[in-house]
Every structure is written in structure tokens, then in C-alpha cells.
Amino acid sequence: MVLKYWTANLVTGDTVFRIHDDGQISLTTVTSVTETTFTVAGIVHTFDKLTAQNSEGAAILPDDAEQREKYECQARRATLSALNPETLSEVEIRYMLGAFSYARGDVNCKICQSQGRQQPGKIRIAMLTDREVSYVLAGLRMAIKTREKVSI
């Protein structure tokens, strides 16, 4: 039997992505491989190597660049969602809003010119593009780095 699917080269210890019912993906490890099936950590039922699905309909994706990017975007979104705007300084908020404006192509930074403290709560993270999420977090990192340099 010669497999021409991505699972053909799986070996124990490989990392793969599991798709959850809500569309989120998580990194997991292949725990065993046979000629026609494989198992992953945390899931009892085996997966068919031809379909990368198990009898319950759970699916596994390869650890490739596309899936890795989705996983990292998901993690950035979770990080941004977990931030409490009340714990951020005015400078951090301004940097984040400036980066958000830049990501949207707003060179005049109209968002930054309004009251900063009220704005983060108005931005719905679920509606942001992956690029906007990345820029907002980059803005926060820049504000933190700037603060660290000033305090040295």
C-alpha cells in the first residue's frame, strides 16, 4: 500500500494539529503509527491515514506552514482578547491604537486623536483581520520596549 497523502510519512513523535468543534486548532503529538492508522495524544480513537479522520469525525491537519500560521494567529487573537484595557497605560493604548490605524491604512490616525482610554473597548477583536491583530500587539510590544528603555 503506497500512500500519497500527507500522513504517509508520519512517525511517532511528529506534531500535528487537531481541529476542534469550534474551529480552533491545537497542537498535539502523534503517539503511534501503523500502516493504515495513527493515534494522537489526548484522543482515544485511531485516525485513518487516508482521511486523517477518526470514527467520531475528528480531523487532524499536518504541521505545515499554513496550519502553523493559523495556529499563531489564533494565539495572538487569544492574547489580545485576554488584555484588560484598564491595566494598560495611556502610552500603551496610544501605541496599540496607532498600530491599529496603521494596519487599516489610516495615516492620519483618527482613532488616536479621540479619547484613547475609551477606544480599546470599542474595538471588537473578532472583527479584526489577522494583520490588524498582529499590528496591535506589535504596538503594545513597542510601547513596553520604549518604557523599558526610558526606565534604564
- 81 and 144 both lie in a single domain: yes
- 42 and 89 both lie in a single domain: no
CA nearest neighbour of 72 among 131, 29, 22, 120: 131
Return the exposure string of 75-111: e unless at least 16 CB atoms fall within 10 Å of the residue's CB, then b: ebbeebeebebeebeeebbbbbbbbbbbbbeeeebeb
- 47 and 98 both lie in a single domain: no
Whether residue 151 is predicted with pLDDT greater than 70 in this model: the reply is no
- 59 and 74 both lie in a single domain: no
Domain boundary among the residues 46, 63, 80 is at 63
- 92 and 53 both lie in a single domain: no
Structural domain contains residue 1: no
At 45-74, the pLDDT tens digits run 999 999 999 999 899 999 999 999 999 999
Residues of the chain above pLDDT 70, percent = 84
At 113-144, the pLDDT tens digits run 554 445 555 567 778 888 889 988 998 888 88
- 32 and 80 both lie in a single domain: no
Number of Cβ within a 10 Å radius of residue 52: 19
Domains identified in the chain, total number? 2
Whether residue 110 is predicted with pLDDT greater than 60 in this model: the reply is no
- 105 and 143 both lie in a single domain: yes
- 72 and 110 both lie in a single domain: yes
**Domain span holding position 144:** 67-151
| CA separation for the pair 103, 11 (Å, rounded) | 41
Amino acid identity of residue 44, one-letter, is V
Higher pLDDT, residue 151 or 79: 79
Residue 85 grid cell? 484595557
